[in-house]
Amino acid sequence: WVASPEGQQYVVWANQKLRLTDPLVPLALGLGGGKPPVAAPAWLSSLPDGPEVGPAVIPQQGKQNVSVGGTPRPVGTVFRHVAGNGAENFSVLREEGLAPVSRTEAVLLQAKNGGAAVEIGSEVLASAPHSDDDSLVKRVPDLLAAKPVPAGERAFCLRQQPVGVDVASQAVTVDRADAGFGMNERIGVRAKPGTGVLAASVPAPKGPGAKPDRYLITDRGLKYRLADDDSISALGFGGVAPVPVAAGVLAQIPNGPALSRGAVGVSVKGRG
């Protein structure tokens, strides 16, 4: 459960960001009533959009009654049935009858309606009119299993790996000690003192002989563009496979001066 710097809230689930459409959603899902941690725009933009999460719109909700078990009930009413094995089944009343819904949809509808689900037995469920609409069974994932990450305790990171010429991102959180910054809107690099990373920008350019931009990222939190293969070899990285890093992430890292073996050679000759 995170927010953008502008305040838009999301649930990050299965490497997607699901936009929350109503302030009651985090309360209904048990995520809390406070403010979620703020995630960096670049981190959020690296995650594809999933389905929006909010109470479903039921046509004619509250404007029409349908008889269920001999009692007129408003369209939009949520019902709960407990089977003999203890399994819960939820449904919502549509104009044509009861339609199945997931647990998450049922909780969101109850929050919108301002009341608990109506308990019904097997006899009433079997005799009630039914709808063929099952669109609310798998519209959103089972978010009731979601657990919020406490603000300030973890840092947002992306685990990235190349897929062809593109890059796939997986959302992860890590201990603050293992990240450059805490869980907030800032982006940074953390490396052990005296170490660095040879990085290649992805997606990589296409075409015969085309090579991605390559950088040396140091423990100072700066990136240095490497001009060519000779420059990379001169630094002792010849034959080392660079780590693929998304171009959008590299753009967030401050630049140091470009490193070129050729430029150094000209400077040395000039002194002579």
Do residues 16 and 10 make contact, with C-beta atoms less than 8 angstroms apart?
Answer: no
In the chain, the amino acid numbered 267 is S
Q: Does domain 65-137 have CATH number 2.40.50.910?
A: yes
Angle at 168 between CA 258 and CA 192, to 5 degrees: 50
Q: What is the CATH number of domain 2-55?
A: 3.30.2390.20
One pLDDT digit (tens) per residue for the chain, 272 residues:
899 999 999 999 988 999 999 999 999 999 887 888 888 887 888 788 999 999 999 999 988 899 999 999 999 999 999 998 999 999 999 999 999 999 999 999 999 998 899 999 999 999 999 999 999 999 999 998 777 766 666 777 777 666 765 667 777 777 766 655 444 455 566 677 888 889 988 887 787 878 889 999 988 888 999 988 899 998 888 888 888 887 877 887 888 999 887 655 544 444 44
User: What is the separation of C-alpha 156 from the centre of its chain, rounded to a whole number of angstroms?
Assistant: 10
pLDDT at res. 271: 42
Choose among 107, 125, 130, 129: nearest CA to 117. Answer: 107
- Whether the domain at 2-55 and the domain at 183-263 fall into the same CATH topology: no
pLDDT at res. 186: 56
Sorted by where each begins, the domain ranges of the chain are 2-55, 65-137, 183-263
* Entry pTM: 0.68
Q: Does domain 183-263 have CATH number 2.40.50?
A: yes
3-state secondary structure 48-116: CECCCECCCCCCCCCCCEEEECCEEEECCCEEEEECCCCCEEEEEEECCEEEEECHHHHHHHHHHHCCC
CA distance 198 to 244: 9
